[in-house]
A and B are shown apart, each in its own frame.
Chain A
Amino acid sequence: MEEQDKLHDENQDEHHNEEKKQSRRKFLRDVGIIAGGAVAGGAAMYAGIHYEDSKPPSGERLKLLAQDGKLLEVDAHHVAEVHLPEGELLMKEGREGLPGHKWVMVVDLAKCRNARKCIDACQSAHHLRPEQYHINTLQMKESKKTAPYNMPKPCQHCDNPPCVSVCPVDATFKRGDGPVLIDNERCIGCRFCIAACPYSARVFQWFEPPMAEEDKDLTYNVELNVPQKKGTITKCLFSADRLREGKLPYCVSACPNGVYWFGDEMEDAVTNGTTKETVSFSELLKQNAGYQLMPELGTKPRVYYLPPKNRLFPFEDGIEEEHNG
């Protein structure tokens, strides 16, 4: 009985050894393949570099502007155009922004008469439903005896954005030139950012977006949020796509009453969307007692307000009735 057991053990041992040998063989074979591949790859790369170098320098020097704005000079034959697929390019540009700028907006409350042209322009540009607002004009009345006024309220594009802090998937992000954008392809619809934003600037797509059918073949543009996507966040983007073209945001250029000033803090200049007048940004704030919304929160908004003094228009809605009637 015992002998039989021993025999069985030996058999097993042999079998084990066999397995070991086989795995060693397999290992050696794998290493061989990898090493061979590496050598072949290296040789190919070397040949490639050698080929590039052996090309006679064309003598033509090209001046190129690097992404950070530095001027570089390279020989023409080293230059190859980079072709990114449209979607990837839009995403890359959208994440990087426009170096050298810091966008600011100034809203003159004295001029607003609730024409809502800014809202219309915004909603048609971003393919939104009529009840979805990237920018909205609110009817304000601070207390019983103070005078009511209209207040356009876009995203404040904070320099210390609480909405971005809470995003678990890096879908919403702050850009080096100011705007806070949202990438609808990363957004998982958790709505943490809606809860975090003290300005209620964010909108959730509960339903199929109104232009889903028309937009389905469009390449997603992170600077425009088009096509919109159900189950994700959409928000004011400071019209990042227009800034790239050197144009004022949709809302700013649509205003018929000269409410909005928009410009670059780096140049200390803002331009009025209606009159196209350009003035000094710091002077405008200084002379009109410009202020920010809820600065005590430390969010550092990029949108400034001018107080509703010497209003151009009488307040045209029965705001008192709603509260006292």
Chain B
Amino acid sequence: MKRIMSYTRFVLLISLIHYFTISLFSEEWTVPTDQSDKTAPFLFTAESVQKGADLFMKNCQSCHGNPGKANYANMDPSPGDPASEKFQKLTDGDMFYKITNGRGTMPQFKMILSEEDRWDLVSYIRSFHTGYIQPEPEVATMTSSGDRATMTLLYDSLAKMVTISVYTVKNDVKSPVKGAEVLFFIKRYFGNLPVGEGARTNEEGIISYPFPEGIVGDSIGQVALIAQLNESSGYGNAKKTIMVPLGVPTEWVSLTADRAMWNINFKAPVWLILSYSLTVLGVFITLIYIALQIRKIFLIGTDYDDEQSEKS
């Protein structure tokens, strides 16, 4: 009876879990309208499709398989084939949003792939849709490889400011870029830490960036500041690094610097070294003392023997 009970309970539990799983993932993955209407900043070309194909092999193929072959991974929820109708009826903006932000098992590629890379991926996925017509790009001036701006960084030690100037060079003529958004990061061991909000260039194409306080630096407070052009402003993704001595200096003290029970012999606690050495020393002194005493007895014995033999 009890067994039957537990069996029914088990079935109930499994079905409940199944229900929740389905209800969680059958939820529509809705993309905000403004994101959905977004279009690629360049026209898709054979070059962008090729770049997208390479990126797809590296980042997507392990789950989504080869587009058109329906050899995607057997997962729940199913990753699906990007060449299928389900994918192709999405707008370019939908695809871009989903690649960028991810959901559940689909990882987000915001920090892994640049915007250009993500659009190249969309162009690759679109290449499996024969009747596809690309909507007119909003920023039509750009190509996949970009009409790029150049950036220079300058540190002013008096004002404690970093000056960023953004300009394009055409026929040896420098023209400042107005209103380009620059994002700031601090270089860290495994990645770049975003700091603060981005800033926009003024009429002269210049940003005076006051370095934020409380950023941890190295032993003398040096910090590597990275300025990067926001790709969405349409001037490429130029990136420059500058060393700024405005961080909070940190002193590294080795975790094995202190004496501790778990440290190497040389760095054991003083009381341990002392008591151990004294104990060992004590044992040896006792042994030597005993040996000396035995020798003494032996000498008394030989003296006694000599006396005896002299007497006889």
Residue of A175, A257, A274, A275 with most chain B CB atoms under a 10 A cut-off: A275
Question: Is A120 interfacial (CB 8 A cutoff)?
Answer: no
Question: Is B36 interfacial (CB 8 A cutoff)?
Answer: no
Question: Is B255 interfacial (CB 8 A cutoff)?
Answer: yes
Which residues on the B side are within 8 Å of A278 (C-beta)? 111, 188, 190-194
Known: A165-B262, A174-B263, A278-B194. A271 touches B252 (CB 8 A): no
Which residues on the A side are within 8 Å of B300 (C-beta)? none
Say yes or no: B10 contacts A325, CB within 8 Å: yes
Question: Is B250 interfacial (CB 8 A cutoff)?
Answer: yes
Q: How far is the CA of A221 from the CA of B250 in the complex (A)?
A: 31
Question: Is A59 interfacial (CB 8 A cutoff)?
Answer: no
Pick from A248, A256, A314: contact of B190, CB below 8 A. Answer: A248
Which residues on the B side are within 8 Å of A174 (C-beta)? 255-256, 262-263
Pick from B13, B105, B108, B188: contact of A264, CB below 8 A. Answer: B188
Question: Is B134 interfacial (CB 8 A cutoff)?
Answer: no
One digit per residue, 1 when the CB lies within 8 angstroms of any chain A CB and 0 when it does not, for chain B 105-144 equals 1011011100000000000000000000000000000000
Known: A99-B254, A248-B190, A314-B24. A275 touches B110 (CB 8 A): yes
Question: Is A318 interfacial (CB 8 A cutoff)?
Answer: yes
Which residues on the B side are within 8 Å of A182 (C-beta)? none
Say yes or no: B188 contacts A267, CB within 8 Å: yes
B238-288 residues at the A interface, CB under 8 angstroms: 250, 252, 254-257, 260-265
Which residues on the A side are within 8 Å of B105 (C-beta)? 113, 256-257
Q: Which chain B residue has the least Cβ–Cβ distance from A248?
A: B190
Q: Which chain B residue has the least Cβ–Cβ distance from A274?
A: B107
Which residues on the A side are within 8 Å of B193 (C-beta)? 269, 278-280
Describe B's contact surface by its main secondary structure. loop
A4-24 residues at the B interface, CB under 8 angstroms: none
Q: How far is the CA of A227 from the CA of B254 in the complex (A)?
A: 29
Q: How far is the CA of A279 from the CA of B188 in the complex (A)?
A: 10
Query: How many residues of chain B have a CB within 8 Å of chain A?
Result: 40
Say yes or no: A178 contacts B255, CB within 8 Å: yes
Q: Which chain A residue has the least Cβ–Cβ distance from B223?
A: A267
**Interface size bucket, A side?**
35 or more
Which residues on the B side are within 8 Å of A325 (C-beta)? 6, 10
Say yes or no: A176 contacts B257, CB within 8 Å: yes
Question: Is A286 interfacial (CB 8 A cutoff)?
Answer: no
Question: Is A101 interfacial (CB 8 A cutoff)?
Answer: yes
Say yes or no: B188 contacts A271, CB within 8 Å: yes
Q: Which chain B residue has the least Cβ–Cβ distance from A269?
A: B188
Least Cβ distance of B217 to chain A in Å? 9
Say yes or no: B10 contacts A318, CB within 8 Å: yes
Question: Is A161 interfacial (CB 8 A cutoff)?
Answer: yes
Q: Which chain B residue has the least Cβ–Cβ distance from A280?
A: B193
A268-285 residues at the B interface, CB under 8 angstroms: 268-271, 274-280
Which residues on the A side are within 8 Å of B263 (C-beta)? 174
Which residues on the B side are within 8 Å of A164 (C-beta)? 262
Known: A248-B190, A266-B216. 20 other contacts (CB 8 A): A100-B218, A101-B189, A101-B252, A175-B256, A176-B255, A178-B255, A246-B190, A257-B105, A264-B188, A266-B250, A266-B252, A275-B107, A275-B111, A276-B111, A276-B112, A277-B110, A278-B192, A313-B104, A315-B17, A318-B14
